[in-house]
Structure 1
Amino acid sequence: MSQPLPHTRKTALIIGSGFGGLSLGIRLQSLGFDTTILEKQDGPGGRASQKRTPDGYVFDMGPTVITVPHFIEELFALERDGGRLDQPDYPAHVLTGERVREGESGGPRTREYVRLVPILPFYRISFDDGTFFDYDGDPDSTRRQIRALAPGDLAGYERFHQDAKAIFERGFLDLGYTHFGDMATMLRTVPDLLRLDAVRTLFSFTSRYFQSPKLRQVFSFETLLVGGNPLSVPAIYAMIHFVEKTWGIHYVMGGTGELVRAFVRKFGELGGRIEYGAEVEEILVTDGRGRPVRSPFGRRTARGVRLRDGEERHADLVVSNADWANTYLKLVPRQARRVNSDLRVKAARQSMSLLVIYFGFRDDGHPLNLRHHNIILGPRYEELLREIFGQKVLGQDFSQYLHVPTLTDPSLAPPGHHAAYTLIPVPHQGSGLNWEVEGPRLVERVLAFLEERGYIPDLRARLTYLDSITPDHFEGTLDSYLGNAFGPEPTLVQSAYFRPHNRSEDVRNLYLVGAGVQPGAGTPSVMMSAKMTARLIAQDFGLHPAVRDGAEGEGGEG
């Protein structure tokens, strides 16, 4: 059971109002903290912000795939000073209930804030030869399409399904909320990971079951949506397939920005405050005598922040929902960092970046042969991935994720029009590419491809709105190190214990939340990260002497 904070209420400052910052803000308010979120932009959401144009288009700037709706329901169900962190992470009805396949989804509290609807199929995966695979999580539908595409892989699919389920049950259901704060916790999981063959690369794992190159792509591409290269992420990420299969893919009517605004509303109802245009310049760190820290040795404690205008804000704890690397490189004084030194932070491999094209176009009266979520794969898969992640060059072809939400929600565009965005993985800023030159070139190539290959006929003649962002946007506006789009790349040596920790090893009362820290990127993982960080704070501030199994291995830092 949660316990009220003794005496005066503790104060918390959260840097950034992305999904991680908002989710944690809601949890801290429910635990009894007075929480303020400091956001440097003029609106909430961070990478999940929303663009609205004067002529009536609405574009989600970032995340569009919503999974695990009970994570959202849990946040909306929290009450002021009544937060619980010891309830089951996966209530029995969530694990045994059937997935909603039509109509509305989400729990009763969610419906008070947003309208969440299931999307079917989850994705249409189109191949370069014009064939496609509609993935909807239904085993019968999947078997039927495999039989048509590569009948020799049916037996392999049955084995993959069984083994991916075992990884999901251990890696997500059992270990998803475990904070790997020490090596001992990590070592306890190694035998299970080896038994499940979850440490080999995902593409290698998938290739054990499927001979068809197309099916190898169908069952490995999903990690690209969280910044992972299928050729290098560990096979534990096969659990994404089962996360989607178990709870489905969902859409928030009005766009993901509506969920952001709903979280802002919930945070305000619990008494939290958000300040916009409040850019943090430094996290204030003091030594054991309350003086500015001069050495990475001895006691180091976060006492607040200094804003860009020079104003200082003090609090009992500070949380960063900003980019992990730039939190340490830019905000925490170098003399306060022993573990997260410049050398260590810069040595971490960052995820790829993105070119995202936002466009509106006239409906010509003919139905689009597209779905809400479309994965359009180029003629090369492994070679293209090596170019993006390894060589860091732009290839002669590309793959893309094309999002057409107006097929579900016409309100996002003026009458008689569609709103869409397409996302193309590209190298991060370590490539040295000049995006002022390469960005417009790639935009034109992508638009020409969509038109000439028949995905959106006569697109360029029908365009009424066009904008795009490149790695320059991620590096500049979003202050992401090297313009990465998803934080550190989720390789084997940057997962679990080896992924940045949610409790700073260098500075007491400094915590992190979001895609850059455990468990990783993706909307559900970021909400898990918020609960994980809240548990660490609750332990450190004496709110929860014991916090179920998810607390294992969370001590000893700071």
Structure 2
Amino acid sequence: MSRIVVIGGGIAGLAGAALLARDGHEVELVEARSEVGGRVGSWEADGFRFDTGPSWYLMPEVFDHFFRLLGTTTDEQLRLVQLDPGYRVYAEGNPIPLDIAADVEETLARAERIEPGSAKRLRRYLARAGETYDMALRRFLYTTFRSLPRVFGPEVVRRTPRLIRLLLEPLGSLARRTVKDLRLRQVLGYPAVFLGSAPDLAPSMYSLMSHLDLVDGVRYPMGGFRGIIDRIEALALAEGVTVRTGSPVARILTSGGSAVGVELADGSTLSADVVVSAADLHHTETKLLAESERSYPESWWQHKVAGPSALLVLLGVRGEIPQLEHHTLLFAQAWEENFAAIFGDQPKVPEVPSLYVCKPSGIDPSVAPDGHENLFVLVPLPADPLLGSGGVGGDGDARIEALADRVIRQIAEWADIPDLESRIVVRRTIGPADFVADLNSWRGTALGPAHTLKQSAFFRAGNASKKVKNLLYAGGSTIPGIGLPMCLISAELLVKRLRHDTSTTPLPEPLESTGPRREADAAAVRPAGEAAGASSSAPSAEAGA
């Protein structure tokens, strides 16, 4: 049994702590903020409760597997609702929305009416997306990449020609080859944003994302995404993890080339046999380690592509808004130009942005007072903290608030809600500078390093330091990548790393300890469906699922 200190109480840190404790280690988690959650934040005001981070529940099998590792089930921990439609699309200049149904055949029928002949091509696209997703689960997601021969086994070798094309052809190009209608191309391409990327930057291997939303469907955990954090924290406590909030780490302590603990900002120290940082990787490497100990120094980051930052607008609105679904996407005609503005050599805010609106109050009465709606708006922006910070009631930086005003008018016009602005009773904005201040986010990115070809799979930063022994990493900055499911997998990879397990498939369920187990505190596990914990002001952005 080792003593392990985990830095960061986001979903990867909490999940990793829970699994490591179950595996027999003594685990203490330290979180800089006053409560855990990280990017999965929440904010409350005047009876409204807003998720400020991830809002798409995708890849349910990853959640199912994680909970079973800890001896429980998703059904015991969460109450999920299937969304139908999964989401709604408004296209600039077209007043008639396109609803993406829970039934994929209905969606294909709607696509056929828009573009005759498209249903057949989309059905083939989705079939291949499903095959790619299955292969990714078996070979590329649940691996530390310590043994490439195990990753590139016979199954992968047989598919080498197709795999090469999936890696070299951009997702946007594949979408254009599949359908001609701009709306349909946007439906196939927008999941790249979940990956902190753009359709023409992400490899077409990520077409697998369309299997998730179009075939598997979209779910919502009642009570909001903060409830997921509450359940994982409870499970971690039940496994014996010690959680210490309000404890920012000043540096990682080393001796003889190995991590031996952490020094907190108050000068106290915690000793450890293994240190896990689930904090932002750029912050960990450039702020918590000495220059000679950095596997990824500042010079390394200068050549990397940051995922987009975001403007988040949290709105409490009086009255109903039937024009918006639980998930609503507003796509601009200048689709490629939008992404070029965000990721180009001279980044700028798009003139007419594409954006996303979440309205959880349509099915979850706990997030808004009676007779009101809860709206979460996300506008992708360049990763540039100089764009400014947000505030409450219009008190943010002038540029951020002006953009929020423009976005509210855009939603009102495109979705035909002419009185939207006059019905707003609660308003908060969050800008790129907030991600830096509250989450130590590299360049103010809302998600992490973009999933480009050179920043995916074994090209992405690994989950172990190359310079410091017994220093491991977890979270969206490292393998396998961005999003709640990816962070749960990164937590499992910590166990694999310590076990020297080079397999490419999920660990057997439930997780059987390789060392002595600490006594679980059964009282720490609250019944599923219990209200979410205290609110947080921590900003976060849509992180995929």
TM-score range, shorter chain: 0.7 to 0.9
Distance 1:13 1:232, change over 3 A: same
Does the CA-based 8 Å contact 1:167-1:198 persist in structure 2? no
How many angstroms does 1:130 deviate by? Answer: 2.0
In 2, Cα distance between equivalents of 1:182 and 1:548: 9
Match of 1:16 among 5, 8, 13: 8
How many angstroms does 1:211 deviate by? Answer: 1.7
Provide the residue aligned with 1:105 in structure 2: none
Provide the residue aligned with 2:115 in structure 1: 150
How many angstroms does 1:281 deviate by? Answer: 0.9
In 2, Cα distance between equivalents of 1:397 and 1:550: 43
SS at match of 1:151: coil
Unaligned runs of 5+ in 1: 1-8, 84-107, 288-299, 552-558
Distance 1:465 1:549, change over 3 A: closer
Provide the residue aligned with 1:291 in structure 2: none
Does the CA-based 8 Å contact 1:502-1:512 persist in structure 2? yes
The 5 A counterparts of 1:92-171 are 109-128=73-92, 129-136=94-101, 138-171=103-136
Provide the residue aligned with 1:359 in structure 2: 315
Provide the residue aligned with 1:56 in structure 2: 47
Note if 1:456 corresponds to 2:420.
no
Unaligned runs of 5+ in 2: 390-396, 508-545
Note if 1:495 corresponds to 2:456.
yes
Does the CA-based 8 Å contact 2:140-2:504 persist in structure 1? no
How many angstroms does 1:225 deviate by? Answer: 2.1
Distance 1:523 1:434, change over 3 A: closer
Residues 370-414 of structure 1: CA distance to partner in whole angstroms, max 9, x if unpaired? Answer: 210111112210011100111310121111110000001011011
In 2, Cα distance between equivalents of 1:402 and 1:414: 19
SS at match of 1:180: coil
Distance 1:73 1:164, change over 3 A: closer
Provide the residue aligned with 1:198 in structure 2: 166
In 1, Cα distance between equivalents of 2:387 and 2:58: 34
In 2, Cα distance between equivalents of 1:73 and 1:454: 36
Match of 1:468 among 423, 429, 438: 429
Provide the residue aligned with 1:382 in structure 2: 336
Provide the residue aligned with 1:38 in structure 2: 30
In 2, Cα distance between equivalents of 1:193 and 1:437: 52
> Is the deviation greater in 39-48 or in 192-201?
192-201
Note if 1:260 corresponds to 2:229.
yes
Q: 2:356 is matched by which residue type in structure 1?
A: Y
How many angstroms does 1:547 deviate by? Answer: 4.8
In 2, Cα distance between equivalents of 1:61 and 1:39: 18
Aligned length: 494
Provide the residue aligned with 1:4 in structure 2: none
> What's the TM-score once normalised by structure 1's chain length?
0.84
> Is the deviation greater in 170-179 or in 421-430?
170-179
In 2, Cα distance between equivalents of 1:47 and 1:483: 12
Distance 1:246 1:12, change over 3 A: farther
SS at match of 1:148: helix
Distance 1:388 1:185, change over 3 A: farther
Distance 1:187 1:266, change over 3 A: closer
Provide the residue aligned with 1:518 in structure 2: 479
SS at match of 2:57: coil
Question: Which structure's relative contact order is higher, taking Cα pairs within 8 Å and 6+ residues apart?
Answer: 2
SS at match of 1:47: coil
Residues 214-244 of structure 1: CA distance to partner in whole angstroms, max 9, x if unpaired? Answer: 2111111012123111111001111111133
Note if 1:481 corresponds to 2:442.
yes
How many angstroms does 1:270 deviate by? Answer: 1.2
Provide the residue aligned with 1:65 in structure 2: 56
Provide the residue aligned with 1:75 in structure 2: 66
Provide the residue aligned with 2:392 in structure 1: none
In 1, Cα distance between equivalents of 2:214 and 2:411: 29
Q: 2:100 is matched by which residue type in structure 1?
A: Y
Residues 280-309 of structure 1: CA distance to partner in whole angstroms, max 9, x if unpaired? Answer: 11011211xxxxxxxxxxxx1111111111
Residues 495-547 of structure 1: CA distance to partner in whole angstroms, max 9, x if unpaired? Answer: 111100012222111111111111110111111111122211222xxxx6x75
SS at match of 1:251: strand
Provide the residue aligned with 2:348 in structure 1: 393
Does the CA-based 8 Å contact 1:172-1:239 persist in structure 2? no
In 1, Cα distance between equivalents of 2:482 and 2:278: 12
Note if 1:328 corresponds to 2:285.
yes
Residues 237-260 of structure 1: CA distance to partner in whole angstroms, max 9, x if unpaired? Answer: 111111334543211111100111
Q: 2:290 is matched by which residue type in structure 1?
A: P
> Is the deviation greater in 529-538 or in 170-179?
170-179
Provide the residue aligned with 1:292 in structure 2: none
Distance 1:493 1:47, change over 3 A: same
Distance 1:72 1:454, change over 3 A: closer
Q: 1:195 is matched by which residue type in structure 2?
A: R
In 2, Cα distance between equivalents of 1:307 and 1:424: 35
Does the CA-based 8 Å contact 1:302-1:318 persist in structure 2? yes
The 5 A counterparts of 1:274-293 are 274-287=243-256
In 2, Cα distance between equivalents of 1:306 and 1:282: 5
In 2, Cα distance between equivalents of 1:547 and 1:387: 41
Match of 2:273 among 311, 316, 332: 316
The 5 A counterparts of 1:293-304 are 300-304=257-261
Runs ≥4 in structure 1, deviation > 4 angstroms? 182-191, 546-551
Match of 1:251 among 211, 220, 224: 220
The sequence identity of aligned pairs, in percent, is: 29
In 2, Cα distance between equivalents of 1:193 and 1:354: 37
Provide the residue aligned with 2:200 in structure 1: 231
